[in-house]
Amino acid sequence: MIPLKFAASVLAALLLLTSLEAGAVTSVRLRDVISQGQGDLNLLQASVRERNPTPAQLEEFRTLNGGNLVFAVDINEAASGTEKSASQGVAVDYAWVEVTIGGTTTRFDALGCPDGELSPTTKTRTALARAGETSRSFYCTLIGDTGSRTVTSSSGSDIHLSSFDATLRIPVSVNLSQVTAARLVVRFLETNGSLGDPEAFYDYSNGFEDVALVTPEDASYLDQLAAGRDEAPLVIETDASTTPSGSRIYYPSKDQFYVVAYEDQFPQRGDYDFNDLVVGFRVYFELDSSGRAVGGGGEGYLIARGGGFDHDWHLRLALPPGSSGNGALTLFGPDQLYAASGYPRPFTFNGALDLEVFSNTATLWTAGGYQFVNTLREQQDLVRGHRFSFAFRLDATLDGASMPAAPFDPYLYVHNTGYEIHLPGMRAVLADSRNTRDGHDSFNDAAGYPFGMVMPESWEVPVEFTDLGIAYPDFLAYVTGSASQGVSWYDRPVSGRTKPTRPALWKW
C-alpha cells in the first residue's frame, strides 16, 4: 500500500509535470511569412528559434483569446509616397484559418473582411478601390511602423523584444487540441494606387511580413500601441467605443495637415513663386456604428501670404446631390483662444458644402510694416496666422462610397482679377467668376504648369520672387513628366531659397 503522504507527493509532481507540458503559452513567431501580398502559414510550425506549437498549445491560444486565434503582423512595406517609416499599411482582401481534425477539414473566415461590417477581425478598416476599379468598399487594414518598440513577452518567447505592429483576429469555434493540420491563409488587397490616397498608402510591396501567434497580453499591448495609426490616411477604428458616434476618420491623417499653395496671377504665370497664399488644413468625418457618415468638420491655419492681390479662401466638400445639413464655422485670430468677433458663424447647405473660410486676406492678415507675411528673407521669425475650425451634421447619413474624395476642393477667389483658382482637374463653381464667363475650365496653363497644388505639411514656402523651379529644381521634371524623381520634387528644396515653415512653427 502506498503511503498517503507519498501518493500526495506523486500527484503533485504529476500535476506540475502536466502544467509544464501544457505550460502557459508564450507568443511564437511562425516559420512561414506573408510574401508578395499573400501567405499560407502552417500554424504548427514555428520559426527556427522556437519549438513548434502543439495542438494542445494551439487550443490554449484559442481559449485564452476568447475563442479567437490572434496573429501579430510585422508590417514591412516600402516607405514611398505617403507611406514612410513612421506609418505604413496594407488592406486585407481575405483571411481564414483552416484546421483538420479526424480527417475533416473546416474553414473559419475572418469577419468583416471584405464586406465592411464592424468586427473584431482587425482594429482598423478603410474604404478602398481595388486595382482596375474606382468605386470603394470597406476593407480591414493592418497599420504599423518601423520603430524600435518591443513586444514585452516572456524572455522565453520567440517574439520577446521584437517588433510587431498590428493584430488579426479570426474566430475559431472548435477545440483545437486534436488537430492534425492547421494553417492561416491571407491575401492582401491589390489597390488602385493611381487614385492616390488612401489606395496608394494601403497598397502592398513585394517584401514579406512576419506573423506570430500571440497571447492576450501581447495582443493588448499592440492594440493599445496603435503603431503608425495617427499618420495613416482614412483610418476607421473598428472599436465603436472610440467616439460617441462610432469613429472619426481624418484626411490626410489624425495629426497631419495638407498644405495648399497658389499662384494668384492666373491665367498668367506671373513670378510663379507659388506663395501668394498658403494654407494648412485637414478634414474629418464622423461615422456611426454602421460606418456611415453622420457629419464631419475640419480645421486649419494661414501659413503664408505673398500675393499683392486680395483673396477669399474657400474649402469645398463635394457632397453628393441631395445631401443637406447644418453647422458652424469659427475663426480665431493668431494665438487667440477665443473666437473672432462674429463667430461662430452658422451655416446650412444643400449638395456641396462650400465654406468661405478666410475672407479678404490682404486686410485680414498683415505683419507690421510688411506687405507680405512669411515670404520675405528679412522676416526672420515666422508670424503665426489665423486658425479656423468647423463642424457640421448631415440630415441623412452617407455611405463610404458617397463621401467626397480627398484632398477635396480648396480654392481661391481673387478679387483683383475675378478668377477662381482650383487644383488641377477641378472646375470653377462660382456663377459670377470670370472663369465661367471667359470659359477657363482648366487650372494648368498650356505648358502644363498648375496654379494651385496640395503638398505635404513638411513643404517649405519659396522666398518672395523666387520661381518655384529655382526653389525646387525637380519641379520641372514633375511638370514635364521627364524624370521619376519629379514625383517627390517637394522633398528637395535649395538651401536659402525657401522659408523655414515647419509645421511646429505654424500650428498653435
Structure-model confidence comparison of residues 431 and 157, the more confident one = 431
What is the structure's pLDDT at 110? 81
Given a cut of 90, is residue 182 above it in pLDDT? Answer: yes
- Global pTM reads 0.66
Q: Could you tell me the pLDDT band of residue 243, with boundaries at 50, 70 and 90?
A: very low
Q: Could you tell me the pLDDT band of residue 482, with boundaries at 50, 70 and 90?
A: low
Q: Could you tell me the pLDDT band of residue 116, with boundaries at 50, 70 and 90?
A: very low
Q: Could you tell me the pLDDT band of residue 14, with boundaries at 50, 70 and 90?
A: very low
What is the structure's pLDDT at 485? 57
Given a cut of 50, is residue 240 above it in pLDDT? Answer: no
Given a cut of 90, is residue 111 above it in pLDDT? Answer: no
- Measure the CA–CA gap between 7 and 299, rounded to whole angstroms: 74
Given a cut of 70, is residue 11 above it in pLDDT? Answer: no
- Measure the CA–CA gap between 33 and 342, rounded to whole angstroms: 59
Cα–Cα nearest to 113, from 140, 151, 89: 140
- Please, is 268 exposed, middle or buried when counting C-beta atoms within 10 Å of its C-beta (0-12, 13-18, 19+)? exposed
pLDDT tens-digit readout, 441-461: 899 999 999 999 999 898 999
**How far apart, in Å, are the Cα atoms of 61 and each of 28, 58, 66, 121, 307?**
10, 5, 9, 16, 63
The domain spans of the chain are 26-225, 243-506
For 446, residues 6+ apart whose C-beta sits below 8 A from its C-beta are none
Q: Could you tell me the pLDDT band of residue 202, with boundaries at 50, 70 and 90?
A: very high
What is the structure's pLDDT at 80? 65
63, amino acid identity: T
Given a cut of 50, is residue 5 above it in pLDDT? Answer: no
Averaged over 108-122, what is the pLDDT?
A: 64
pLDDT over 70, % of the chain: 90
Task: Spell out the long-range contacts of 77-81 with Cβ–Cβ below 8 A and sequence spacing 24 or more.
Answer: 77/204, 77/205, 77/207, 78/205, 78/207, 79/146, 81/200, 81/201, 81/488
- Averaged confidence pLDDT in the chain: 86
What is the structure's pLDDT at 8? 40
For 12, residues 6+ apart whose C-beta sits below 8 A from its C-beta are none
For cell 511562425, the residue is 30
What is the structure's pLDDT at 411? 98
What is the structure's pLDDT at 473? 94
Around 182, how many Cα atoms within 13 Å sit in the side-chain half-sphere?
Answer: 28
Q: Worst-scoring range by mean pLDDT, 214-218, 272-276, 315-319, 367-371?
A: 367-371
Averaged over 485-496, what is the pLDDT?
A: 84
Alpha-carbon Rg of the chain, whole angstroms?
28
Given a cut of 70, is residue 488 above it in pLDDT? Answer: yes
Q: Could you tell me the pLDDT band of residue 4, with boundaries at 50, 70 and 90?
A: very low
Vertex 251 angle, CA 333 and 362, to 5°: 30
- Measure the CA–CA gap between 39 and 342, rounded to whole angstroms: 58
- Measure the CA–CA gap between 194 and 204, rounded to whole angstroms: 14
- Measure the CA–CA gap between 45 and 31, rounded to whole angstroms: 6
What is the structure's pLDDT at 81? 60
Question: What are the cell numbers at 53?
Answer: 506549437
Given a cut of 80, is residue 112 above it in pLDDT? Answer: no
What is the structure's pLDDT at 246? 54
pLDDT tens-digit readout, 162-171: 889 999 999 9
What is the structure's pLDDT at 255? 84
pLDDT tens-digit readout, 205-218: 877 899 999 999 99
What is the structure's pLDDT at 17? 36
pLDDT tens-digit readout, 291-328: 789 999 999 999 999 999 999 999 999 999 999 999 99
Given a cut of 50, is residue 242 above it in pLDDT? Answer: no
